[in-house]
Amino acid sequence: MPSYIAPVDDMMFLFEKLRDNKNYNEIEKYKEVSSDLVRNILEEAAKINQNLILPLAKKGDENPAVLENGVVRTPPGYKEAYQKYIEDGWTSLSCDPKYGGQGMPKTVSAFFDEMLSSASLSFKLYSELSIGAYNCINHHATDEIKNKYLPKIVEGKWSGTMCLTEPVCGTDLGLLKTKAAPQSDGTFKLSGQKIFITSGDHDLTENIIHLVIARATDSPAGTKGISLFLVPKFIVNEDGSIGPRNGISTGSIESKMGIKGSATCVLNFDEATGYMIGKKDKGLNAMFTMMNLERIVVGIQGLGISEIAYQNSLAYAKERKQGKTNKTKSTNGADFIIEHADIRRLLLNMKSIIEGERALCFWLSQQTEVSLNHHDEKVRQEASDFVSLMTPVVKSLFTDLGMEITNDAMQIHGGYGYTKDQGIEQLYRDNRITPIYEGTNSVQAADLVFRKLSNKNGDIINKYIDLIKTETDLDNEKIKPFIKEFKDYLNILVKFSEWINEKTKTDRDDVSAAANDYLKTLGFVSVAYAWIKVLDVSFKDYNENKNFYDDKINTAKFYFDKILPRAEQHYKSAISGSSNIMNFKFN
């Protein structure tokens, strides 16, 4: 089983030193969230993840969730751990105190999401969708619905799901077949089938609150006729107590490559009672409140799994002997593999990506809070645009690089990495879903280039680039070599953005073929931007903690020397166009 130590010190460094968003710091309700409070939360989070949840990863993989006589049973130990998890209040961390939450900002809850992803992604998924459902209901439901359902979801007694996909449609939701027939009492009867529903059924909570997209019987075809419905597993009585079973049954649990402890269900809705959330035929708008949050959280899943893969690779490299280096230190015929240049390259590849991603995610968390809570509408909108721009980047880049990192972790472990004993191959299998669900990474890339670079509020990508230019205009002599190199890649991003903009007008196939390359270029440059912010602090505060900041400076140097050049490679690949791709004749 892999070991894991939550990177609390690195997280606290970000919270204390990179909480530099002026607009975020103006949010009144977070001014009382002190460093001492956050450290206490993170240290307690580390304990429950390291001691209670981490062992569940292997148990869930070896004893998957099962469907028996119509009842879904979670792996051994899950029920007891979940009870402790909700008793300690972890489901309520970022929720509104009005409904029993603790009201912590996403600058804190994102760190917890990372820890939980490192410890056991399968276990995490049972509560993760509940927070997404909470956010969707909180933003779009009536006060009556909120007061009836949110306190129990926040408490963790009830969980939530997101029911989109059907056998006839994956991402193309306009093809969905699930129908919602209006009733005289204002409710709807839903009939249809949903597939790939994460935590669709289980034995951890008293009730499961499904958020289901469906088409009212009098609504038009396509995405314009989709509405959103709240459909509980058990009907909730007027007094809030659990009533009779609703018309929902579990058809099967998917047999999967990874995250085996998570029950991924086929759900059948047979005239199940549902309550419309938000406006009729505007269901996708409401559901995207949940989906966009989930896409960022999926990116954090990739980061969390990368972190535990790195930690175990580093530990293994320090204890495994194999071969001799050019400057051998061995007296008995072999050196530790950490002395080999290529192993060190792989480890630094992991470390520089992970720490850069964590810093970028912290930046995005601040922007998210500004978009939701700042008093100035214009400031909120600009932050919302930045979050919208970076959501597909974080979702896709972090998960794709998570696959690279878990693959390299297996390589470092050699044959032992391929066996189940070390647990590294499970990290690879568990992470493999992250580039797929919540919209495949290719869908994210297309969304980025066709929808996110510009919107009704203007040219978002250029606003983002202007922000980066302003924040990287620094005087410190020690950081100038990094900034000089960074500006070269920022200019590549500018040229790439201009190329995308022109090609959108003349040849959309060129843009489609370049979408993944563009996302990667934007992603690698954005992580470098986060590293510049880290370097600025590292040089200024160097004497406070020389060992810590030496580590940051040298890790950043590796990123700039070895990782950032990929941005240019993607640019050069993309601008070759799509003619060969589109004209190729497959036999």
Task: Answer for the pair 181, 270: CB distance below 8 angstroms, yes or no.
Answer: no
Name the 3-class secondary structure at 528: helix
Instruction: State in Å, rounded, how far the first CA of the chain is from the last one.
Output: 46
CA distance 12 to 111: 10
CA distance 466 to 469: 5
From residue 521, how far is each of 438, 458, 465 by CA, in Å? 22, 21, 13
CA distance 306 to 430: 11
Length of the chain: 587
The separation between CA 147 and the C-alpha centre of its own chain, rounded to angstroms, equals 28
Which tokens in the block code for residue 544? 């406070």
Task: Answer for the pair 238, 190: CB distance below 8 angstroms, yes or no.
Answer: no
β-strands 188-198, 264-277 pairing: antiparallel
The separation between CA 316 and the C-alpha centre of its own chain, rounded to angstroms, equals 27
CA nearest 5: which of 42, 39, 60?
42
**Residue found under tokens 């909470």:** 134
**Residue 478 φ then ψ, to 5°:** -70, -25
The answer to whether residue 438 is catalytic is yes
Which tokens in the block code for residue 200? 């669709």
Strand partners, 163: 212
Q: Which of 26, 438, 477, 485 is catalytic?
A: 438
Q: List, by residue number, the catalytic residues.
A: 438
